[in-house]
Structure 1
């Protein structure tokens, strides 16, 4: 869904016509929507402006989203083969917000602008029926038209059409929509945590998930990921975090996954996942009730989540003779409740590679919790780095296109004796620095799986550099940037962030030698600033 805004003669029509011609977009004109709602309106600009303002006044602009939905329902696949719709044009923030609420991450807003003198000359040079006999200055007196420039602050991209050709405008729009074909055979992107877990990985996955055909997750239910949704956030303990954001993507739990069958079945029911969509590799490990009891007994002194993942993982390594006896439940293929979902990860991945499908592999926890590379004994029971995640999924490194390492501005560890962390602060300090109210901070900073309070600390540059070395990321995703200032929650583009935040990002890029491509500003709709150039 592409929303186009801009002043009269800013180049909206040229962009819209090219999107229709080059990308088979279905164009929905708000002029036509006005005429359907108020059929007695004269087809001339001043009358259309007046009618539009009347409709906007009635519901704050929501009428556009409602009329747009009816237009979409009336079109066929043949009419819109790429599923691309262009709205020409949006005029007030209320219209934009209503469409974003309805369609979420599928909405892209392009604002076109030009020097006022150029706009006036373009108007004088053209002739349209709806503008006949109307002076440019008269049209500019309209309040909506006067305020149209304010929509630039809400846009995903702002294009000065007097500084580039119509073709260049199309290029920028096409890149924003990711409509350019991507070459090569590297089809896998890997997303991992760069610190101690709880970096906000689910939030980033929720933003990018719609770009993928297959979503893969490894690890176990000791790591819960959250994605914003209404009326309450979506929580995922086994399933990939993009499960609902990308409803057409297939789902895969790799052979290195560790599964609590009851908890997974509850999760499948909650998110309405059927057997045709999810594949569980036959060799994934099953958690038993005894595993959970044993973990609670053994690992309370290191703040383990005690979900049974560690004991089950150890049993997979040490219990091979027991498995042959058939006395204990080990693998997913032996669990009667999971049999409808059992398959081969290698086959699912091979089919995806053959068909050129994009794959997102989502890791859990964080690099410094790796059993090999973390601060032993305060670690988890698997390798949480990129290499470990690839091994758990059964994906070769040569298939990897991008590695996204997610880091918080202020790293956390679960409360209690969970291990060392440099330069700890408290929530009161974050409250004072950021301006975020203290009570919501305390509520937010509790673990997803066990609801424990978290410890929090200053950004650890040494730990960060180690994680970069271990994972070799191509991109950094930086989360909780509102902790540098609550005003960052109102930033929709990089340059709208506070100066302190921009300086911090620049230093992260300097230390990492990689770009900060994604920044999470809040936990809500449209909460990620996307700077990727993929």
Structure 2
């Protein structure tokens, strides 16, 4: 019983949606709820049959058939994106939204895509989340309760989350990454429009700290960053291609910038901020292609084992999930005896 928060250590795109889907299936959880800013960050999951799932508004926990999903009141809702995902994923009767969530309107998207500072300096995703959040702070934005099309989905999500966590398991899927946090990153203005920590995720969904059982911090073996801002150990586009580790953003389709390794001082800072109890180490096949698709821990190579040891040393938390390839089944549970 209780809540499990899934949070990204660095700049996002680390596989939080994959982790959410895996845990929902493994533990047959009752509810997965989306935290984060809005629709400016996407999640993608590739099933073992090759089906590719892309989402921007709803958490991926619905990939377990008995898991309901919700959007927290601190998360902005784009009614068009919301409706598309409900229909595309067949979630009628299984999805909830909070009437207090702010709304991303068409004018917010237009502003996000035309404002010179946002487009040229920040290199925003153009989803409208920044302008919508600004209007919400100014108390000018609509809320979900003002949109008739959302009426059938509305409930008190914080009450749903806390009551469910008192008798079962709730997954809280964060978005983006700790080092993109508006108030905690040193990279302003190259940040998102809110914070992306475990505490922020709790706030986004109205979760009491007393209901938190675990914080799973997702660490990407070779970090990436979308948009502008510093990226330690950044590889050139030619180097990325030579290593065959090219990635593209879910929302923008832009090629992600890729690092040659983890900035350990930033990872330590992220661990301090988030207080992880577990680590999900993802994209390990980008460090050592020999482990691509490996699904048994005893077949993991020494370079990846060394990375596990270093990550555990820096974060002071055990690596409990290990990602070795693009498919959902490539995310494996690390045996307890193998955890430091």
Common fold by TM > 0.5: yes
After TM superposition, list the pairs within 5 Å mapping 1:167-178 onto structure 2.
none
1:232, CA displacement in angstroms? Answer: 2.9
Q: Does the CA contact (< 8 Å) of 1:430 and 1:483 recur in 2?
A: no
Paired residues, number: 328
> Is residue 2:31 matched to residue 1:214?
yes
Q: Deviations over 1:158-193 (max 9, x none)?
A: xxxxxxxxxxxxxxxxxxxxxxxxxxxx60000011
Question: How does the TM-score come out when normalised to structure 1?
Answer: 0.59
Match of 2:234 in 1: 424
Of 205, 212, 224, the residue aligned with 2:20 is: 205
Q: Deviations over 1:277-331 (max 9, x none)?
A: 111011011001111111222301211101011111111111x2x4xxxxxx610
**Matches of 2:332 and 2:50, distance apart in 1:** 23
The secondary structure found in structure 2 opposite 1:222 is coil
**Matches of 1:432 and 1:452, distance apart in 2:** 18
Q: Does the CA contact (< 8 Å) of 1:252 and 1:279 recur in 2?
A: yes
Q: Does the CA contact (< 8 Å) of 1:190 and 1:402 recur in 2?
A: yes
> Is residue 2:211 matched to residue 1:399?
yes
> Is residue 2:249 matched to residue 1:447?
yes
**Matches of 2:124 and 2:241, distance apart in 1:** 28
Match of 2:188 in 1: 376
Runs (4+) off by over 3 Å:
426-433
Tell me: CA distance 1:453–1:200, structure 2 relative to 1, closer, same or farther (3 Å).
same
Match of 1:502 in 2: 305
Q: Unaligned regions of 5+ residues in structure 1, if any? A: 1-185, 323-328
Moved more, 491-500 or 196-205: 491-500
The secondary structure found in structure 2 opposite 1:424 is coil
Match of 1:20 in 2: none
The secondary structure found in structure 1 opposite 2:329 is coil
Larger radius of gyration: 1
1:221, CA displacement in angstroms? Answer: 0.9
Q: Deviations over 1:17-53 (max 9, x none)?
A: xxxxxxxxxxxxxxxxxxxxxxxxxxxxxxxxxxxxx
1:517, CA displacement in angstroms? Answer: 0.9
Of 125, 137, 156, the residue aligned with 1:317 is: 137
Q: Deviations over 1:29-80 (max 9, x none)?
A: xxxxxxxxxxxxxxxxxxxxxxxxxxxxxxxxxxxxxxxxxxxxxxxxxxxx
Of 269, 279, 304, the residue aligned with 2:96 is: 279
Q: Does the CA contact (< 8 Å) of 2:8 and 2:219 recur in 1?
A: yes
Of 325, 332, 340, the residue aligned with 1:529 is: 332
Match of 1:307 in 2: 127
After TM superposition, list the pairs within 5 Å mapping 1:242-261 onto structure 2.
242-243=61-62, 245-261=63-79
Q: Which structure carries more relative contact order (alpha carbon 8 Å, separation 6+)?
A: 2
Q: Unaligned regions of 5+ residues in structure 2, if any? A: none
> Is residue 2:10 matched to residue 1:195?
yes
After TM superposition, list the pairs within 5 Å mapping 1:27-426 onto structure 2.
187-210=2-25, 211=27, 212-219=29-36, 220-229=38-47, 230-243=49-62, 245-274=63-92, 276-298=93-115, 299-300=118-119, 301-318=121-138, 320=139, 322=140, 330-354=142-166, 356-374=167-185, 375-415=187-227, 418-426=228-236
1:409, CA displacement in angstroms? Answer: 0.9
Question: How does the TM-score come out when normalised to structure 2?
Answer: 0.92
**Matches of 1:297 and 1:368, distance apart in 2:** 25
Q: Does the CA contact (< 8 Å) of 1:218 and 1:364 recur in 2?
A: yes
**Matches of 1:469 and 1:477, distance apart in 2:** 16
RMSD: 1.7
1:493, CA displacement in angstroms? Answer: 2.4
Q: Does the CA contact (< 8 Å) of 1:215 and 1:250 recur in 2?
A: yes
